[in-house]
Amino acid sequence: MLYGRPLAPPPAAPNMSKINLLNLTPADANATLEAFFRDRGEPAYRARQVARRLWQAPVRSFADITDLPAALRDALEQSFEIPSLLISTQQISADGTRKFLFRLADGEAIETVSIPDADRMTLCISSQAGCALQCAFCATGKMGFTRNLEAYEIAAQVRELLLLDPPIAATNIVFMGMGEPLMNWRAVDLALTILNDPAGLGIGARHITVSTVGILPGIVALGERPEQFRLAISVHAPTDELRRGLMPINTKYPLADVIEAAKSFDRRVTFEYVMLGGINDRPEDVVQLARLAQECKAFVNLIPLHPGGAGDFTPTTADGIRRFSASLRRSGISVAIRKSRGKDIAAACGQLRVERHRRRRPIAAEYDGGVEVA
C-alpha cells in the first residue's frame, strides 16, 4: 500500500549557528546542556531533563518538552537544534514490513525499512545517500553516490520511527540500507555510540550489525570498538575471479585480504551470499565457500536475490537454495536462508527512492532490484 503524499519540501537546513544536539554523543550532549543551564543559574537536573528527550523519550522540538518552563524552552531554541528527517513516503507490506523514504535537509532521499518478526523489530538503515560501489546486482549502486550521511542522520532514522503514533521501537539494527557504512566510518562510529549508549537509543551491541563489502580499514576500526557490534561481510562469490565481476571493490580489497580481516575480527562474522542462478550457486562454489567459512568460523546467510533490476541475473530457485544450504551444513557450516520480506512493496533499498524521484526528474537507469533484508 502506497501512501501517496506528494514529495514534501525538505526540512529546514540545520542552522550553523546553533549546536545540533543530535550530532553529539549522549555524554557530550549532556555536558553541553549542563554548561548551558549552569550559565543560567539553573539546577543541574535540567540537563538530564532535556537530554533524555533527545533519544530516550524523544520529542520533535524543544516546545514539546512541556515539563520545562517556557522561558527555558525558548532559550534552548535560540542555542540548539534537534533537526528532523521528514518522512515523505511510506509503504506497508501485508507481512508488516514498512518502508520509509526520508527527505534530508538538502533534498536528498534515503530509505529505512522496519521488519517485525515475533518479538523483534529490525530496522534496516542507510549510511550514505546512494552508493559508489556498483555491485552488479544492487539497485542502490546504480544510483551512484551522492554523499555521506552525518551521524545524526543515521541515528535519526531510528529516532523518527519512535516519534510515530504508534511508535516503532527498534530492537535490532542492520546497516543494510543504502550505502557502504565502512566508507563513512567517522559518522557510523558516532552513530554506533548513539544507537548503543543507554543514554542514547540503548540498543544492545550484539543487536547491531554492520554490513560491508569488506573495507579493510573500516573492519579494523569496528573491531577496535570495545562493544560487541556484529560484522556481516558481503562475500557473494568464493573466488576473486567471480567476485571481481560482481563487486568492483574486489580489485581494491581482494577476497583473500577480506577473509584475513574476518579471521582477525575477534567476534564471529556472518557471510552474506546472494544467490545468483548459474553464477555463484554451482557445485564448485559451495565447496569453495564452505572452505572460506570454515577458515573464518563464519556463519553463512544465504540471501534470495531480489528479482527485478538485478541486471540479467536470475534468482536461484528455492529448491536450489535449500540444496546449497544443505550442502554447506554437511560441511559443518552454520547457515541460514534469509526470509524475503516485504515483497509486495518491493522492500529492497533503492526502490522507493526511485519511484518517488522518477516523478520529479527522469533518470537513466532502471532501479528495481535492491537490498533484501530480514
Active site residues: 111, 349
110 interacts with ligand SAH by CB under 6 A: no
**349 in Cβ contact with 176 (< 8 Å):** yes
Among 81, 160, 272, 281, binds ligand SAH (CB under 6 A): 272
Choices 23-31, 188-196, 300-308, 323-331; region in contact with ligand SAH by CB under 6 A = 300-308
280 interacts with ligand SAH by CB under 6 A: no
**119 in Cβ contact with 58 (< 8 Å):** no
303 interacts with ligand SAH by CB under 6 A: yes
Nearer to ligand SAH, 190 or 210 (CB): 210
130 interacts with ligand SAH by CB under 6 A: no
Among 54, 231, 296, 305, binds ligand SAH (CB under 6 A): 305
Nearer to ligand SAH, 138 or 335 (CB): 138
Minimum CB separation from ligand SAH for residue 31, in Å? 33
Sign for the pseudo-dihedral over CA of 219, 100, 111, 311: positive
Place of cell 514534501: 8
Nearer to ligand SAH, 272 or 281 (CB): 272
Minimum CB separation from ligand SAH for residue 33, in Å? 34
Helix segments in the chain, DSSP class H: 26-39, 45-51, 70-79, 139-143, 151-162, 185-196, 216-224, 240-246, 255-264, 283-296, 318-330, 351-360
26 interacts with ligand SAH by CB under 6 A: no
281 interacts with ligand SAH by CB under 6 A: no
Cα–Cα distance measured from residue 366 to residue 348, given in angstroms and rounded to the nearest whole number: 14
Minimum CB separation from ligand SAH for residue 220, in Å? 17
176 interacts with ligand SAH by CB under 6 A: yes
Cα–Cα distance measured from residue 223 to residue 66, given in angstroms and rounded to the nearest whole number: 42
Size of the site for ligand SAH (CB under 6 A): 19
Among 26, 111, 369, 374, binds ligand SAH (CB under 6 A): 369
Nearer to ligand SAH, 42 or 180 (CB): 180
138 interacts with ligand SAH by CB under 6 A: yes
137 interacts with ligand SAH by CB under 6 A: yes
Which DSSP string do the residues of 81-146 spell out, in sequence order? E-PPPEEEEEEE-TTS-EEEEEEPTTS-EEEEEEEEETTEEEEE--SEEE-S---TT-HHHHH-EE
370 interacts with ligand SAH by CB under 6 A: yes
Minimum CB separation from ligand SAH for residue 214, in Å? 8
Q: At a CB cut-off of 8 Å and minimum separation 6, what does 22 contact?
A: 29, 54, 82, 83, 152, 155, 156, 159, 194
Cα–Cα distance measured from residue 60 to residue 34, given in angstroms and rounded to the nearest whole number: 21
**293 in Cβ contact with 300 (< 8 Å):** yes
304 membership: H or E segment, kind and range: strand 299-304
Q: At a CB cut-off of 8 Å and minimum separation 6, what does 333 contact?
A: 290, 293, 294, 298, 300
Nearer to ligand SAH, 51 or 138 (CB): 138
Cα–Cα distance measured from residue 191 to residue 222, given in angstroms and rounded to the nearest whole number: 12
179-218 residues in contact with ligand SAH (CB under 6 A) are: 180, 211-213
352 interacts with ligand SAH by CB under 6 A: no
Which positions touch ligand SAH (CB under 6 A)?
135, 137-138, 176, 180, 211-213, 234, 272, 274, 303, 305-306, 310, 369-372
